Amino acid sequence: MRILIFVDSENFRGSINELNKERSQDRMIDWHKINLFVLDYLRNNLQYLQERLFHVRTYVYTGEYTDGVIRKIEDAISKAKNNEELSRILESAKKNRKGQQEFYKRAQNYSFFEIRKKPLQFTSAKKIFQKGVDVQLAVDLVSFAHQNMYDIAVLFSGDIDLLESVRTVKNLGKQVIIISHFRNTAVEMKKDADMYVDMQTLSDAQLDNVSHQFQKHPSNTS
């Protein structure tokens, strides 16, 4: 059975953050291992023991720190007086953009892995938010089902905005598996998924297959 993996990066990071709080850990996602984690989990599930499973592609959906959003924050700062909050937002945005660009470079070496980006937005309420990411994911989920590109969709998101697309692809004969922390998953999404995996139930060993614990190196002292 052919597997396509769809990852809402914000929702997935939110699930990992919830686990970090609960377990007093500092896990970071190993994006290049998501497909291996999924295959290992499903191959050890009774439902798929007799099936031949193979990964087709992983799609990661994310909001992108663009020059445009940086300029909007800078413009807001120029119009404000002594706005420390905006300055902190700008500093954080620049830092996040640098990290994001480094991730993009690394991801070019990942096999069967594609990043789908939407420009992040900045509002007068001093918030950076993503727009259109869920829409793009929903469109791909349905479009790829119509094109018969997969048998199983593994969705790393529990966002309610995806509910109708999940129902649509199921009606097209596709299976939908949702993997997300229960706090990041709408009740209706749990009910409508063919299989729901609450990340809270995963062992540390299983989580090690898709993430690693960040270890701070002790500073040298004389």
**Of 26-35, 71-80, 163-172, the least confident:** 71-80
Under DSSP, the state recorded for 124 is: T
Residue 12 has pLDDT above 80, yes or no: yes
**pLDDT tens, residue by residue, 95-111:** 999 999 999 999 999 99
Residue 218 has pLDDT above 60, yes or no: no
Q: What percent of the chain has pLDDT over 70?
A: 96
pLDDT confidence band for 217 (50 / 70 / 90): very low
User: CA–CA distance from 17 to each of 7, 22, 23, 95, 200 (Å)?
Assistant: 16, 9, 10, 19, 11
β-strands 113-122, 195-198 pairing: unpaired
pTM more than 0.85: yes
Please give the span between the terminal C-alpha atoms of the chain, in angstroms, as a whole number. Answer: 58
For the chain, list the domains and their CATH numbers: 2-64+113-119+130-213 (3.40.50.1010)
Q: What are 7's strand-pairing partners?
A: 60, 156
Q: Are 179 and 158 in contact (CB under 8 A)?
A: no
**pLDDT tens, residue by residue, 150-174:** 999 999 999 999 999 999 999 999 9
Q: How far apart are the C-alpha atoms of 84 and 86, rounded to whole Å?
A: 5
- What's the average model confidence in pLDDT over 83-100? 92
Query: What pLDDT does 82 receive?
Result: 67
Q: Residue 6 is encoded by which pair of tokens?
A: 């769809």
pLDDT confidence band for 149 (50 / 70 / 90): very high
- What's the average model confidence in pLDDT over 46-75? 94
What is the b/e burial string over 17-35, where b = at least 16 CB atoms within 10 angstroms of the residue's CB?
A: ebbbeeeeeebebebebbb
How does the average pLDDT of the chain come out, rounded? 93
pLDDT confidence band for 216 (50 / 70 / 90): low
Query: What pLDDT does 79 receive?
Result: 83
Q: Residue 143 is encoded by which pair of tokens?
A: 């479009």
Residue 69: other Cβ atoms inside 10 A: 18
If one compares 92 and 83, the residue with the highest pLDDT of the two is 92
